[in-house]
Amino acid sequence: MLLLDERFWSKVRKGAEGECWPWRTGRRGYYYLTPRAQGGKMIYAYRCAYLALVGPVPKGLVLDHLCRNPACVNPKHLEPVTYRENRLRGAGERTDTIWNGYCKLGHAIEGENVIRAGTCRRCNHAAQRRWWIKNREKLKPQRAARRAREKAAKKARNT
């Protein structure tokens, strides 16, 4: 188990056993395990607390905040689950898509219309097309250079 010093716990507002213990330093909740001057490893504070008070997270699992408070470092509020389970428990557009079976434009998420969990092939294609149209002018010189290289390589092979 990981031993955490007073420096770590001074940044936690510890409450009662069942309450959240919010991390009070920094918006993202990172903590340096060793000082930065020594090339410190930076990991999330809730993960440090779990390692110190419970033990290592099983391989292939992530920690899910049961309290839905990402700043909470109370290990009783953290549960090791698969990444997929963590996403399904959370809130957001992709989670809603996975649960209801339809993308935000109403296309069914099933069979050939699925790229990966919660992503509609038709919407993905439309997004790629919009990106291509927006960036077409920037990409023209790159494509021309690539074609010239390919043409030169083909010519070299034929001679």
Q: How does pLDDT run across 121-157, given as a tens digit for each residue?
A: 888 899 999 999 999 888 888 888 999 999 999 989 8
For the whole model, what pTM was predicted?
0.55
- Locate the domains of the chain by residue range: 1-90, 91-159
Q: Which two tokens stand for residue 90?
A: 């959370």
Q: What's the pLDDT tens digit per position in 66-106?
A: 888 888 889 999 999 988 788 777 766 555 555 567 777 77
Q: How confident is the model at residue 37 (pLDDT cuts 50, 70, 90)?
A: very low
What does CATH list as the number for 1-90? 3.90.75
Q: Is the dihedral of CA 113, 117, 119, 121 positive or negative?
A: negative
Q: State how far the alpha carbon of 71 is from the alpha carbons of 8, 20, 62, 134, 136, in Å.
A: 14, 9, 16, 38, 42
Instruction: List the Cα angle 81/82/85 in 5-degree steps.
Output: 85
